[in-house]
Structure formats: C-alpha cells, structure tokens
C-alpha cells in the first residue's frame, strides 16, 4: 500500500473528519525468511542507508532490524547540531554532502524534518583557537564549504546575550557557518522510516540481533530475538554497540563506547536564534522551538554503556556556559539524558567493508553523527550496492592499520 502524501490539503481534509483518516507512518512488519540486504540498527544512519539503497539503486528487498524502538538510540538523544566546517577534505566532502541533502530533505521525504539553517558559531576563546579557526575557514573555502571567521563585535550582534569578556576566556572571534543549524531529530528517523516502508522495506522493531553466521567467509544468517533471517548482505549500523556486533561477526573494531549527555532548561522567551559552541570551556547551547535552552557538554572519561552520563559533567558544562552566558544562571534545568557514542582514535567515522564478505560497517560518528545522517546513508548505500563509494573511500577501517588517519580531533573531538 503506498503512503498518502502529507500536505496542507490533507491537513484540512483530516480536520474536517476528526483526523480519522491518517495512515500508519510505517507498516508493522514481521521478519521474512530472507532479504537481499539486512541493516542492523534503526537509527538515522541505518534508516538513511536503507532509503538510499532503495532510492538510488533500486534495492528494496531490505529489512531494518532494531532491538528497541526506531530512533531510540543516539538519533533520538542528540542536540541536533548540523554543520560541515571540518578541516580534512574527506570529512568536509561527506559532511557538506549531508548538509546539502538536509536543505531539501523535508520535500524529498514529504516529512517535515524542521531543518532550521539558523547558523552555527564556534567561539574562539584563545589565540590558539583563533589561529585554528582561521585555518579551518581557509580550508573550507578551498573545499567549497561556506564559512568565515568573524569578529567579536559581529558575534555580539548575532548573539546579544553573550558576555564577550568572560572571567577566564574572552571571546576573540568565531568560526561562523551561516547555513549550519538544527533539525528535529525524531522527524529525521521517522521521515526516512516512512519512506523506506513506502518502498516496501520491512522495519522490524523489538528485534535484537544476537548472532551473525557466515559460511566460507560470506555472511549468510543473522540470529535475532524473532528467529533466524537469511541475508545476502549485512550492514551493521549500531553506533555505540558496534564493537559488540563486530565481535558476534568475528572481527574487532577500533571503537570505544562512551556516554555523552545533554540537558534542557525550562522554556523561556526567544533569546538566541543561532547555535553557539564554546569548545575551550566545553559547552554548547541553542534554543529549541519550544523555548528550552538545549545544552551539551563532554563525554564521560571512561568507557561505559549507561545511557546516562556522570553527574559532575552537568555541573562542569553549566558552570562553563554561565561564564559566557551569565543570564542562564537563573534558569532551572528541566531534564537530562545520555546516549552511547562510538569513538574512533582519529575522531572520524568508519564506513567500510569488513573481513567477512557481505558485511559492511558504518560507525564511529561519535559525538557528531546526527549532522551526517543523509550523507552517511548515501555513501553507505553506494558502498553496499557497488562495492565502492567516492564519499566513503577514505573512511575504510584499514586506515588504522595503514596509519592514514583523518584527524578531526579539533573539529569533531568536541562534543556536539
Ligand atoms: C547527548 C548527545 C548529543 C549529541 N549531539 C549531537 C549534535 O548536536 N549533532 C550531531 O551531529 N551529533 C550529535 N550526537 C551524535 C549523534 O546522535 C550520533 O552520532 C548519531 O545519532 C548516530 O546515529 P546512528 O544511527 O549511527 O546510531 P543510533 O541512533 O544510536 O542507532 C543505532 C541503533 O542500533 C540499535 N541496536 C544496537 N544494537 C542492536 C542489536 N544487537 N540489534 C538490533 N539493533 C541494535 C540501537 O537500539 C539503536 O537504535 C549526539 C549524541 C548524544 C548522545
């Protein structure tokens, strides 16, 4: 059954008949005995991979298996910052592809993902950061990514609530990406899920992958909490659980899993319409459409799977931000949560073939993979369909053995 389009007319029609005519956004599916492709993990990256497999390559006999609920991992837990101001060429290429896809994603998916290109600002609060961000702005101009280094006066113009002369670190300027911004995280997952379901793919929730079998070095079967399912190709797209799944398939990944947390304040009147990141003091903030100040900080300093985060991080993050935004000192915090992020040594992702034929892995997005969802799905789908993708070529896992690191510890090692 094909899905009816959402539109202003549909809204009016349903308003006139008590909203009884809306369809399910995606079909409830049970596993078939076999699929051409199975994707493990119904987060943004897994769903986007499935979507572009169908859309760009016509591969539609696909299942996406999710142990919990769709979008319930990091995709539904992040602070939604979207930017592409990375230093290295392969990173700028994939993040900019992603940012560009976000520009028209609502129209493409016929689902409002609320992309808001309100501008992202990374504050320079030391001389070292000034030099670093000027260098990034130069690199970005060669890469075709539009960013600029702006003065403290311009920062104040864009963010009137900022204190430029903080007690420890004055604001010396900022790296500004005017077309960076935010999007609604759940809607990104839901929009891709709806489009996948519309193409006839099965999205199977509450279906945990518990084992992976191969024959003669080729993947054949995944064992799940809903039984065994055969597959031609398998994509592991499970963020913080990538190491666990790789172990089940018989290989190791250079990934560490850490808790990263965020919090929101009580809602207040609009006071800041850009995203501000203060990486020296390690905190960042934006204002949601509901008026909450959305605040994030750093990862725990030890590996864990708690989906909670250590208490002292909240204090450290808020203390740091109060220096730059004194007015938030009087706000009450509403709620806090955490997710398990998948960190690589060079702070760049892995989109790669693996030692087992037919198994592909997409992980290592760490603290910053929400922004990459469309571009990552695009590249992973191409890799799985054709065996090669120009966008993902530099992100193979063999780079750790060969010493070809894509060092983004400055652009991506900060939390966001
Ligand atoms: C607090 C926080 C703030 C962040 N802020 C930002 C930000 O501002 N901007 C940004 O770009 N990024 C941000 N990120 C990072 C971003 O959220 C992630 O990089 C991104 O969402 C990863 O998406 P994913 O699809 O790879 O993983 P997930 O969304 O985590 O999806 C993986 C899915 O795999 C499922 N799974 C795991 N094991 C199994 C199994 N055995 N069987 C079946 N399913 C399984 C999980 O249940 C999960 O749903 C933040 C992350 C956190 C935690």
**Separation of alpha carbons 352 and 358, rounded Å:** 11
What separation in Å is there between the alpha carbon of 75 and the centre of ligand 1? 4
Question: Tens of pLDDT along 323-380?
Answer: 999 999 999 999 999 999 999 999 999 999 999 999 999 999 999 999 999 999 999 9
Point out the ligand 1 atom lying closest to the alpha carbon of residue 259: 53
CB of residue 227 inside a 6 A radius of ligand 1: no
Element (H, E) at 286: strand 283-287
Q: Spell out the SS3 assignment of 95-140.
A: HHHHHHHHHCHHHHHCCCCCCECCCEEEEECCHHHHHHHHHHHHHH
Question: For residue 274, what are its two tokens?
Answer: 């850009």
Q: Comparing C-alpha atoms, which of 217, 212, 247, 208 is closest to residue 231?
A: 212
The 3-state DSSP class for residue 389 equals coil
For ligand 1, atom 21, which residue shows the shortest CA distance? 75
Pocket test for ligand 1, best of 369, 378, 395, 413 (most atoms within 8 A of CB): 369
For range 381-389, the mean pLDDT: 98
State the Cα torsion 181-186-189-191 to the nearest 10°. Answer: -90
Q: Spell out the domains of the chain, with CATH numbers in brackets.
A: 26-84+86-111+185-254+346-402 (3.50.50.60), 120-181+257-343 (3.30.9.10)
What separation in Å is there between the alpha carbon of 369 and the centre of ligand 1? 8
CB of residue 41 inside a 6 A radius of ligand 1: yes
Element (H, E) at 48: helix 44-57
Q: Contact 73/239 with Cβ under 8 angstroms? A: yes
CB of residue 125 inside a 6 A radius of ligand 1: no
Pocket test for ligand 1, best of 223, 239, 283 (most atoms within 8 A of CB): 239
Q: Comparing C-alpha atoms, which of 402, 297, 395, 404 is closest to residue 95?
A: 395
Confidence tier at 416 by pLDDT (50, 70, 90): low
For range 391-400, the mean pLDDT: 97
Report the predicted TM-score, pTM, of the whole model to 2 decimal places. Answer: 0.97
pLDDT at 313: 86
For range 269-274, the mean pLDDT: 97
Q: What is the largest CA-CA distance in the chain?
A: 64
Question: For residue 414, what are its two tokens?
Answer: 């900060």
């Amino acid at each position: 059954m094909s899905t009816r389009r959402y539109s202003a007319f549909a809204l009016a029609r349903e308003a006139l008949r008590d909203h009884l005519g809306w369809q399910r956004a995606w079909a409830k599916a049970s596993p078939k005995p076999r699929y051409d492709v199975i994707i493990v993990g119904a987060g943004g990256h897994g769903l986007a991979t499935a979507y572009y497999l169908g859309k760009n390559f016509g591969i539609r006999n696909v299942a996406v298996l999710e142990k919990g609920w769709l979008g319930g991992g990091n995709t539904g837990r992040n602070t939604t910052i979207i930017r592409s101001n990375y230093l290295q060429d392969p990173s700028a290429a994939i993040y900019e592809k992603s940012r560009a896809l976000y520009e028209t994603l609502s129209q493409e998916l016929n689902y409002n993902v609320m992309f808001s290109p309100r501008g992202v600002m990374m504050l320079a609060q030391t001389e070292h950061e000034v030099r670093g961000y000027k260098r990034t702005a130069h690199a970005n101009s060669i890469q075709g990514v539009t960013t600029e280094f702006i003065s403290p006066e311009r920062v104040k113009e864009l963010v009137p609530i900022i204190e430029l002369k903080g007690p420890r670190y004055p604001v010396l300027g900022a790296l500004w990406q005017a077309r960076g911004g935010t999007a609604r995280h759940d809607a990104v997952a839901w929009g891709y899920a709806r489009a996948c379901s519309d193409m006839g793919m099965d999205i199977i929730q509450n279906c945990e992958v518990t084992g992976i079998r191969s024959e003669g070095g080729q993947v054949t079967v995944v064992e799940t909490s809903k039984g065994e399912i055969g597959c031609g190709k398998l994509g592991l797209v499970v963020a913080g659980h990538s190491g666990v799944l790789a172990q089940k398939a018989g290989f190791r990944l250079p990934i560490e899993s850490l808790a990263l947390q965020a919090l929101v304040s009580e809602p207040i009147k609009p006071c800041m319409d850009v995203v501000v990141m203060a990486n020296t003091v390690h905190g960042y903030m934006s204002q949601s459409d509901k008026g909450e100040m959305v605040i994030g900080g750093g990862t725990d300093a030890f590996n864990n799977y708690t989906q909670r985060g250590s208490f002292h991080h909240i204090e450290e993050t808020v203390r740091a931000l109060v220096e730059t935004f004194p007015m938030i000192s009087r706000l009450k915090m509403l709620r806090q949560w955490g997710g398990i992020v998948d960190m690589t040594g060079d702070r760049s992702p892995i989109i790669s073939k693996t030692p087992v034929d037919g198994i592909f892995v997409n992980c290592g997005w760490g603290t910053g993979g929400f922004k990459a969802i469309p571009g990552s799905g695009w590249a992973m789908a191409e890799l799985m369909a054709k065996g090669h993708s120009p966008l993902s070529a530099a992100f193979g896992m063999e780079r750790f053995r060969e010493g070809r690191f894509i060092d983004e510890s400055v652009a991506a090692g900060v939390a966001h």
